[in-house]
A and B are shown apart, each in its own frame.
Chain A
Amino acid sequence: MYKITYKREMAENTVCHFKVDAPRIARKAKPGQFVVLKANETGERIPLTMGGTDPSDGTIDLIFQVVGKSTALLRTLNVGDAIQDIIGPLGKPTHVENLGTVVCVGGGTGVAVMYPITKAYKEAGNHVIAIIGARTKDLLILEDEMKAASHDLRVTTDDGSYGHHGFVTDVLKKILDDQKEVKLIVGIGPVPMMKFLCKLTKGYGVKTMVSLNPIMVDATGMCGACRVTVGGKTMFCCVDGPEFDGHEVDYDELVKRQRAYLTEEKASMDRFKEIGR
């Protein structure tokens, strides 16, 4: 059992931040890695990327958006409650080195995934430009943290309620037009964002890494639920990823595979709303 020691609602209660007591994972986890959790006996195994870790107090940060039954149920838990199973750290850590200028782009809840990676690139000596975006101001998360983790933070909202009015790709395009020395772009967010971001950066010939979040079951390479096509080859996101060369990913297939259980997810959510578990 993994005890929740801290809880904060973010982004108009659509995103939730937990600190969870998991000392061994906290000690081992590196930026880019994720955990799988199963809230209770009847729960499903869902992958969640860690928004950070604190090895000294033995906690890990889980930041998740309520998108279905499992995350809705998770959000009903409070400080003192426990999550039944957390497995991790899983996946390959982000390959961090000093490259020069790196742009870290986070969209929606992807900002939470982006945060420890951004921090790591800065600590490795890079000049880090960060771009974070959300649909609207109230849905924006981790602005202060991202500001501290980067040298230069740009903010966008789709509706113009805060920061640049438009998409993260607009701001990125401007940076790429102005600066020739960007060595790497890391993009994490909804699949359409990553798809369009990579379309843009391919034109500039700048290497772009993305972190994918397909459906997973065991997340140790045993089942193949998370298979993604990268460079025409089938990869298992859980062990070969979660980060891949963004210019090689088949995003259309990824979106279709993410939607494989829409009917069941809706049935599960309806049932949850009705009986509360």
Chain B
Amino acid sequence: MDFIEALLRHNFLQNALFAGVLASIACGITGTFVVIKRITFISGGIAHTALGGIGIAYYFGVDPIIGASLSALFAAIILGIVTIKMNEQSDTVIGALWAIGMAVGVIFISITPGYNVNLMSYLFGNILMVSGNDLYILFILDIAIIIVVMFFFRQFISISFDEDYSKLRGLWVNTVYILLLCLIALTIVILIRIVGLILVIALLTLPAAISRIYLNRIVMIIIFSIIMGLLFTVSGLVLSYNSNLPAGATIIVIAGFFYLFALTFKKVFN
């Protein structure tokens, strides 16, 4: 097959494949919590605020992935506090930060002198441009996510299942919640590299949403989500390489169809 030959020959394809694997691990783990705690919208807010950081970093000549990480973490903390403090109007505030983050990003990118090809790659991702250095950063982020989730696994589940009871047990509910948002922020930074900002929420939530339809145990949902993520990124990569399509969008279209199929299948046969 073309792809296999190309894979052996081209370093950028190997990097792309590794990036897909690392992204699938991250989104399988944190995406599961996004789905079961139903915080897709706030995750969207974090993702779009990350563009602000990318723009600012770009303008000052810093590595955009650092700008993205810092602004996504900043957004996670701010949005976490906002949702805790103002329960009812929090979605309006999330929407505002969402827009501001994006706008700031676009402004800074546009005032940066030079040719701005990179804006598109952050909006829609470019898995084929992942460098060895990027892979190293993605790997570190993955390890960080795995370790934190391992330690806080039961607490994340507890605050998602029953926040009041967690409070009664004296758990630091708000701190644990903000920690979870920070992990989501880091995952989003990983995913932006692969599918870009516009599509990031899809890759974060679709594998877990598919697994959630069929599985009833969180560990199983995580494992299955990782497998789903791998399936989508690898098949998307192959398809986009063979047909000369944009990789990020191809990955998302495959994931989206899978989700709709899984949903229909369940509805029809249950």
Partners in one complex: no
Q: Which residues of B contact A (CB under 8 A)?
A: none
